A and B are shown apart, each in its own frame.
Chain A
Amino acid sequence: MNLEELKQIAASTRDEQAKFDHEINICMGTGCLSQHSDTIKDALTKAVAASGKNAFVRRTGCMGLCAAGPLLLLTNKGSEHEIVYDHVGPEHAEKIAAALGGAPVAELQCDLREHFESQVHVVLENSGHIDPEKIEDYIARDGYEGLVTAVTEMTPSEVIEQIMKSGLRGRGGGGYPTGLKWSTVAKAVGDPKYVVCNGDEGDPGAFMDRSVLESDPQRVLEGMALAAYAVGASRGFIYVRAEYPLAVSRLTAAIRDARRKGLLGNNICNSDFSFDVEIRLGAGAFVCGEETALIASIEGRRGTPKPRPPYPAVSGIWGKPTLINNVETFANVPPILRKGGEWFSGIGIGKSKGTKVFAITGKIANTGLVEVPMGIPLRQIIEGIGGGVPDGHTFKAVQTGGPSGGCIPAHLLDLNVSYESLIEVGSMMGSGGMIVMDDTSCMVNVAKFFIEFCMTESCGKCIPCRAGTAQLYTLLTRICEGEGTMDDLDLLVDLSATIKETSLCGLGQTAPNPVLSTLRYFRNEYIEHIEHKHCSAGVCAMSKAVEVTA
């Protein structure tokens, strides 16, 4: 494969697609598939054939607006304009086919302009537009141009330079500068070196990485291959949780196709660069997303974290230098190589460059996946793109950063989202889960929920995390049952400090965040539970409470 051959594949695929007057993309991500979008595809294919229209029906990955699924995206030849239909069913197939070329079916048309128009798609640029199991579709949208150009025309250090320039930071939670990590692994001594893609994604409410893997798996493979070329690695692992069967099957197909095209395997582009990827399934332990635990798991051992240093960059899988990046981090790499690091650093603010994919769930109208430029106000994500809190309820808080992030209250909604700003308000970027809560959520109960998650997901190796989270859970349960005392609040703070400062890995070091952030912004709710034995959200039963009369 060389650049010319690649462009030929792209051109002929585009020619093939240009033969059709209409393109009908139907979402077959996990969300829409759960509402049987596959049956819609079959019905549409039949209806289109029967109608005699010259249209092409394609299965694609997630289009983002899962709450309104199944979704369908329609384009007409010669027009940039995209029409989105929501809540589509097989019964609409004939109507949709009949309307092709004329006015869209009004009753199906999705009118959420603001939802789509204030997003910037870099990672998700192909989601909803390509068939995830067709490598040609990816190539037709400039896929693998970055890799082939890099391998044939650039040195590894030039690749790293572009990543450095882009200002890309890890999307797996820590926000560590990706270019710096790559150059460390490139300099590390050891053979072979490994590249690992972290697709463990264990945070409750998060499905960014799953969606990327399901919608555009080749992009992740290209990102990994570019990383491997840059750091001098020859083997790669993608660690995906077994609960993501669709992602796994699409990745398996993608790896096979990339090998057939010579974009993975030995002597890529007739160079002496060889790189191949294997999938490793995780059994769904949150802690296995932590890099040292993930390495242990790949090696076939119990997934418990180890003290760092040594960092994986120096001593990772089987003691060899190992580069670990998140799915979304890798997905950002191909466009950076294609368009240049400076293009990427033009998006975002301050030290947070590019875009971020968020999975918005909870008490929000437009549940789903969004990709926004860094620096966007939180309010715009929640009220604009997310459509606000439904059913006449009022917004109370948004939890970002996964189970160990913090709850951000309404008065901070004008915050510009960046790695730094989120930490300042006691939360964090994390991997991109956003859980919206309204006046029916009790913040003490929310803290209890997240602590329970951390307690059950703690590996049990170090005492502050193992027993500390269990103690926090007991104290919070006591407060929720109306049995807490004001002393318990001091104990919560004290215990949280020890867990944060002395735990071995990031799980424990961040586990108390939900407790501390709710204590910071919603202390009145704690006091209400303790002193008045009352939960104004009506969530806590206060079973053991005695009625207090004034």
Chain B
Amino acid sequence: MSPAPAVDIKTLTIDGKEVSARAGQTILEVARENSIAIPTLCHLDGLSDVGACRLCMVEIAGTPKLFPACVATVEEGQVVTTSSDRLKKHRRTILELLFAERNHVCSVCVANGHCELQTLGQEQGLTHIRLPYRNPKLEIDGSHERFTLDQNRCILCTRCVRVCAEVEGAHIWDVMGRGIDSMVITDLHQPWGESACTRCGKCVQVCPTGALFDKSKVGSPHPKYPEFLPALQMMREQQ
């Protein structure tokens, strides 16, 4: 019998708690295994990480720089802080930027009560927005028979892009434009209803806000179930 392959184990400290991890694990993974909460928005278990929302930034002792926990990997002896005045302030400012960027009006949003952005705002103690609201005029694409894309609620986390490309294998979603004009689009910027969409609905389930929603849920609560992803991944790996 051949010996089991050696596993490289690292020990580190997160928020004062000593934890162990396998080499190559991200700080976020290890923190969550140890019930230490780090806010995230673009990260989703089961999808590749892009490090785009910057809410998961943590401090590592010995450097003034901040690191995105979703992509930064663990190192031996690392001392990580996931919550400090500095981090809280940045997280609130980032949430402010998100709320002021497009038109996030919770009271009339289909995702009200089931929105990750809304929940994060509440959790992070966001009481008001100091920044001027940009109030852009944006489109709503209702051309799909089952789903709607409301650009007003999109935060460009690109979960839809990734789930469609990586899990469904259709890759109908992508981002066009740049900077503040960036926009998710279907196919070659064609109406969703005319695209090569497979109608699987995965993008709707992973969308953290009311940007992608199921038409049949309008007027009733619209919880989403992104937990299907890790389960699906596990099943595929077992095959």
Contacts and interface: CB of A to CB of B under 8 A. Distances in A.
Interface of A: 285, 287, 302, 306-307, 309, 455-464, 466-471, 474-475, 478, 491, 494-495, 497-498, 501-504
Contacts of A491: 130-131
A490 to B, nearest CB: 9
21 contacts: A307-B50, A458-B179, A461-B50, A462-B53, A462-B54, A463-B54, A463-B155, A463-B156, A466-B180, A466-B182, A467-B97, A467-B98, A467-B134, A469-B180, A470-B180, A474-B132, A491-B131, A498-B89, A502-B57, A502-B66, A502-B94
A459 B54 contact: no
Given A462-B54, A466-B156, 17 more contacts: A302-B175, A307-B72, A309-B73, A456-B178, A460-B156, A463-B52, A463-B94, A466-B179, A467-B98, A469-B179, A470-B101, A470-B180, A474-B132, A491-B131, A498-B94, A501-B65, A504-B51
B90 interface: yes
Contacts of B180: 455, 458, 460, 466-467, 469-470
Contacts of B156: 460-461, 463, 466
B100 A467 contact: yes
* A458, A459, A460, A503: most-surrounded residue (chain B CB, <10 A): A460
A457 B179 contact: yes
B101 A462 contact: no
Interface string B118-147: 000000000000111010000000000000
Contacts of A475: 132
Contacts of A504: 51-52, 54, 68
Contacts of B52: 461-463, 504
Interface string B20-62: 0000000000000000000000000000001111100100000
Q: How many B residues are at the interface, by size bracket?
A: 20 to 34
Contacts of A458: 178-180
Contacts of B131: 471, 491, 495
Given A307-B51, A503-B54, A463 B132 contact: no
A462 B158 CA distance: 11
A456 B178 CA distance: 7
B71 interface: yes
A495 B93 contact: yes
Interface in B170-187: 174-175, 177-182
A460 B98 contact: no
Contacts of A456: 178-179
B48 to A, nearest CB: 11
A375 to B, nearest CB: 27
* B94, B97, B155, B177: most-surrounded residue (chain A CB, <10 A): B97
Contacts of B94: 463-464, 498, 502
Given A463-B98, A504-B52, A498 B93 contact: yes
B130 A285 contact: no
A460 B177 contact: yes
Contacts of B50: 306-307, 461
A150 B73 CA distance: 39
Which 8 A-B pairs have CB atoms at the shortest separation, nearest pair first? A460-B182, A458-B179, A307-B51, A498-B93, A467-B97, A470-B180, A502-B54, A467-B101
Interface in B67-98: 68, 71-73, 89-90, 93-94, 97-98
Contacts of B93: 464, 494-495, 498
Contacts of A471: 97, 100, 131-132
Contacts of A287: 178
Contacts of B68: 307, 504
Contacts of B51: 306-307, 462, 504
Contacts of B130: 491
A400 B127 CA distance: 39
Contacts of B179: 455-460, 466, 469-470
Nearest to B101: A467
Contacts of B100: 467, 471
A223 B130 CA distance: 51
A115 to B, nearest CB: 39
A498 B178 contact: no
B103 to A, nearest CB: 13
Contacts of B90: 497-498, 501-502
Contacts of B175: 302, 460
Nearest to B71: A307
A504 B177 CA distance: 18
B127 to A, nearest CB: 15
Contacts of B181: 460
Contacts of B66: 501-502
Contact of A459 (B53, B65, B178): B178
* A287, A466, A474: most-surrounded residue (chain B CB, <10 A): A466
A462 B94 CA distance: 10
A153 to B, nearest CB: 41
Contact of A470 (B53, B134, B174): B134
A549 B167 CA distance: 66
A503 B51 CA distance: 10
Contacts of A466: 101, 156, 179-180, 182
A461 to B, nearest CB: 5
Contacts of A460: 156, 175, 177-182
Nearest to B180: A470
A503 B54 CA distance: 7
* B54, B89, B174: most-surrounded residue (chain A CB, <10 A): B54
Contacts of B71: 307
A462 B50 CA distance: 9
A457 B155 CA distance: 19
A468 B180 CA distance: 9
Contacts of A502: 54, 57, 66, 90, 94
A545 B4 CA distance: 76
A190 B226 CA distance: 37
Nearest to A504: B51
Contacts of B54: 462-464, 502-504
A289 to B, nearest CB: 14
